Structure 1
Amino acid sequence: MATETNNPIIVLVAGHWLGAWAWDEVLDHLETDHARAAAITLPGLDGDDPARTTRTLDDQARAITDPLARLDVSKEQPATLVAHSGANAPVSLVLDRHPELVHRVVWVDSGPMATGSAFAADFPEDMAELPLPPFEVLSQQASLDGLSTEALDQFRSRAVPEPGPVLRQTVELTNDARHDVPTTLVCCSISSAQVLDLAREGHPLFAEVAKLRTIDAIDLPTGHWPMWSRARDLAEVIGSAATHTG
């Protein structure tokens, strides 16, 4: 039988080019709903870090695990991890290394990575970083639907180039217990029906989804950045996921 847990701990991790600031509006809504929520900026995405272009996925995974300790997360009180887009690589590592610390993972227009995969294994070694592309280029890769001019301006002004090592590094996973962590798929730019069909067909981008043992798939139609286009609705989905068990 499904139950609910009070005062959930929620850790939000944004995708490429983004820091904790990307979740500001979502956090406002979650705090109104009395959740214990925190957003983090991954290593390599802090513009003031002089060594940021050398940061790796392992650095990013540790940066997710460390706040769990500060929030008193434990096997008895696990956290809900929220991973948007390219945050799926470090969050997949955390699920592999510490599945007992995760109550539920919420993939926001994203999903778990498969072992042996990389975001861009062929990203040139002589390129230290990947800046945010022009929006006309980015829109061919990910939907910008629902984003206001103000949101796009903020995205452009605050984006930090993605470190090359993060893009090139292969994700190595060994712990099948990661598949036991309850999962919520928040499907925005592609429908849940399409995602599940692609997973069943073995599409390489969604093959790991077929291995998950407990999945809730939620449609939240909008573009690839719902934390800006549908912040209140996304917060409600996250809050519900964080309090749900069973």
Structure 2
Amino acid sequence: MTTNESNPPIILIAGHWLGAWAWDEVLEHLTAASRRAIPMTLPGLDEQDCGRASRTLDDQAKAIGQTLLGAGASESVPVVIVAHSGANAPVSLVLDRRPELIRRVVWVDSGPVASGSVFAPDAPEDLDELSLPPFDVLGEQASFEGLSTEALQRFRARAVPEPGLVLRQRVELTNDARLAVPTTLVCCSIPSARITELADAGHPMFAEVSRLEQVDFVDLPTGHWPMWSRPGDLAHIITEAAGLPVG
């Protein structure tokens, strides 16, 4: 009989403007390999939620915690979290509050945030939500390498504005036990060698990486959205990181 211990649930959480749908192609590969994967949409990114602009990082962290418990997570049977891009803030909060529930965290072109971090400290107080920017603007901040025209069209059509409160909220972390959770960094738009250099140099974006007690680096050369550009390879890496046999 398959148990959570031998085949732990894998919780998939995408970054800004994205919901559970962003993992569809990765989910196909994981499901075909009999992996127990659960994609989730964070509060504030559900287009059917008329109050989505009022959602906060705390709301998102609470929802992740509820998803973990709903998947059967416990101290004896922890689960795997896969966090892409801007999902790093709420997932960092969950790692701080409930580290015992997490077997491993897999950061996809992302990484843990440091206490005191704010994603958009200069965002105006009256910004209710931030829509997906034009691609020529977004492309100056993140790589679109490997994405088809169809993928970009789907991104534009399905993107949900990011709540302004999420972008402005400060991340407060107090529990160093989060640093002991086994970690995998899937390095896509920035190679692992460069991330290591930046972490060792104390770069604010990667400051927490140098503090992790157990961290593995996996290079997956592509753009910032590997769930669309290399879904099969990403599913393979997630499976290996979860400590599961790769068939």
For the aligned pair, the TM-score class normalised by the smaller chain equals over 0.9
How far apart are residue 18 of structure 1 and its match? 0.1
2:34 maps to: 34
1:214 maps to: 214
1:44 aligns with 2:36: no
Q: Secondary structure at the match of 1:218?
A: strand
The 2-side partners of 1:122 and 1:55 are apart by 19
The 2-side partners of 1:198 and 1:216 are apart by 16
1:108 aligns with 2:138: no
1:68 aligns with 2:68: yes
2:152 maps to: 152
The 2-side partners of 1:172 and 1:126 are apart by 22
1:129 maps to: 129
Aligned partner letter, 1:146: G
Gaps of 5+ in 2: none
How far apart are residue 69 of structure 1 and its match? 1.1
Aligned partner letter, 2:64: I
Residues 9-67 of structure 1: per-residue CA shift (max 9 Å, x gap): 10010000000000011011111111111000000000110110000000000111101
Q: Secondary structure at the match of 1:8?
A: coil
Q: Bigger CA drift: 114-123 or 156-165?
A: 114-123
How far apart are residue 218 of structure 1 and its match? 0.2
Q: Secondary structure at the match of 1:205?
A: helix
Aligned partner letter, 1:229: S
Aligned partner letter, 1:225: W
1:14 aligns with 2:9: no
Q: Is the 8 A contact 1:9 1:242 kept in 2?
A: no
Aligned partner letter, 2:185: L
1:119 maps to: 119
How many percent identity over aligned positions? 66
Residues 68-93 of structure 1: per-residue CA shift (max 9 Å, x gap): 11111111110110000000000000
Aligned partner letter, 2:34: H
The 1-side partners of 2:205 and 2:93 are apart by 16
Spell out the pairing of 1:63-102 with structure 2 (5 A cutoff): 63-102=63-102
The 1-side partners of 2:62 and 2:36 are apart by 20
2:225 maps to: 225
Gaps of 5+ in 1: none
2:175 maps to: 175
How far apart are residue 159 of structure 1 and its match? 0.1
Q: Bigger CA drift: 115-124 or 225-234?
A: 115-124
2:194 maps to: 194
The 1-side partners of 2:9 and 2:196 are apart by 28
Q: What is the TM-score when the length of structure 1 is the normalising length?
A: 0.96
How far apart are residue 6 of structure 1 and its match? 2.3
Q: Is the 8 A contact 1:132 1:161 kept in 2?
A: yes
Residues 98-131 of structure 1: per-residue CA shift (max 9 Å, x gap): 0000000000000000000110022111110110
Aligned partner letter, 1:157: A
1:185 maps to: 185
Q: Secondary structure at the match of 1:105?
A: strand
Q: Secondary structure at the match of 2:81?
A: strand
Residues 147-205 of structure 1: per-residue CA shift (max 9 Å, x gap): 00000000000000000000000000000000000000000000000001100000000
